[in-house]
Amino acid sequence: MNIIRRIQQASIYPFAYRITSLKSLLQRLKTFTKPTTVIYENNYKSEKVLLIALYEKGELRSDVLNLLQTSKKLGLYIIAVNTLKIKNPSIYKEVIDVYIERPNFGRDFGSYKTGFSYFFKNQYEKLCPRLLMLNDSLFYTSKGLSEFLENMTNTDVEVLGATENHEIEHHLGSFCISFKQNILKNKKFIKYWRNYTNSDVRPVVIKRGEMGLSKTLKRCVTKTKEFKAHYSLAYITDLFNRDISLVENISKYYRNPSFHRIGDTGWRRASIKGVHDRLKEFYIINDSDMNSTGNIETKIETDQINFLSSTKDLQNMLERRLPINQMDLAEKINKETLFDFIDCFTSGSQVHQNALFLLHIGLPFIKLDGLYRGMFSNADVEALALAIDTNESLYFKEVMYNNPFGGDRYIGWRAAAFNYGLI
């Protein structure tokens, strides 16, 4: 965002916040008298539960339907809460055990609250060994889906999220969290959902919902280690240590820059250039920079242009210029490649920042707001489409491209509201 436009939108922000808050209030009043309806329900027999928040009109998306079919094969009891209307809900009776439609207010946490209210009203927490909470803000790929669902529902970890987020404060991504029975029965957890107040203002939902839920869960677990993400930084670094080829090929999974975009995240992005800069910082010293000899002596021409698409290209370039053993150079490049990546891994939202990499190592979903929020570029969408099953890639691209970058579509107060995350 250029400076002038940033100043303009900063001056509009208080007005934009008041407008979005007022719209939220009006939507609350508009939906206040509209009923939440349990369309149908099947008997519960102490199964593990999948609670999913939906925003589906007419029919379910094909990837969501596949998620539900896969979940049923694993024996999960499915509670689905939809803020829109399905044309013929009864056709999904084989994959949805409890189907609820509610007024469209409160975003995904409004649906979670409705689902948990139903769950606690029927005292299922006394019978349910584990509950997995998901929503349809994700595109669910077939590859690895069954294994992932098994990992999330067969674990003994009391609170297990798919991914975590270190922005503002550490919390689990609320689009995928699994709870053990002792958490479901915990009075603090039940009280959180009973007292949760719906809002359509996005920052309020993030603070009161996603972050507030993580705070509550941290108080509910019996030990600190019982609150964690499956794809945590510890898990990722252990993966790298066990598979050096993952380090050597990591450039295939870098996030692409979004050019000429006001809404680009500004998150640190892992890159071959970043690895090169680390090498220069820690190892490479020009003779002109100091009188004594450094770790490696070199005279790299500043006007030399190199096209580097991998760490191997970087190694080949440096081998031509530096008097160093090939194995030593490869070791140092791999080390700095790893450190550059893990330094950037926790910058911003992991599920957006590392979408292609996480997909490669087994996470079977992609956040659908990545392009809209400016966190993905079109190049990222194309790379992700190539990484999933070919029979899903066209539909995936249609869903993503139907929700293009918000910074290109809004003007006035809406532009300020978008760029400050209010909508």
Q: For residue 220, what is the domain's CATH number? A: 3.90.550
DSSP symbol at 253: G
Asked if the structure places residue 148 within a domain, the reply is yes
Does 99 share its domain with 146? yes
> Does residue 378 fall inside a structural domain?
yes
Name the token pair of 357: 């990499």
Residues 258 and 388 occupy one common structural domain:
yes
- 122 and 224 co-located in one domain: yes
Order of strands across the sheet with 77-82?
A: 37-41, 98-101, 77-82, 49-54, 130-135, 176-180, 159-161, 227-229
**Residues 256 and 380 grouped into a single domain:** yes
pLDDT for position 269: 86
The ranges of the chain with pLDDT < 50 are: 260, 262-263, 287-301
Give domain status of residue 1, yes or no.
no
Same domain for 262 and 217, yes or no, is: no
Residues 78 and 216 in one domain: yes
Q: Are residues 214 and 248 in the same domain?
A: no
> What pLDDT is recorded for position 347?
84
Tally of domains in the chain: 2
- Residue 123 in domain: yes
Condensed to tens digits (0 to 9), the pLDDT of residues 275-334 reads 988 888 887 655 444 444 444 444 444 556 677 778 888 888 887 877 777 778 888 889
User: Domain ends where: 205, 229, 253?
Assistant: 229
Residue pair 47/120 in contact (Cβ under 8 Å)? The answer is: no
Amino acid at 68: L
Q: Which domain holds residue 404?
A: 239-408
The pLDDT of residue 289 = 47
End-to-end CA gap in the chain: 18
Report the pLDDT value the prediction gives residue 2, as an integer from 0 to 100.
61
- 202/308 same-domain check: no
* 136 and 216 belong to one structural domain: yes
Helix (H, G, I), strand (E, B) or coil at 62: helix
Residue at a domain's end among 184, 199, 229: 229
> Would residue 17 count as lying in a domain?
no
- Both 125 and 255 in one domain: the answer is no
Strand 176-180 relative to strand 138-140: parallel, antiparallel, unpaired? unpaired
Residue pair 409/417 in contact by the 8 Å Cβ criterion: no
Domain stop point among 167, 194, 229: 229
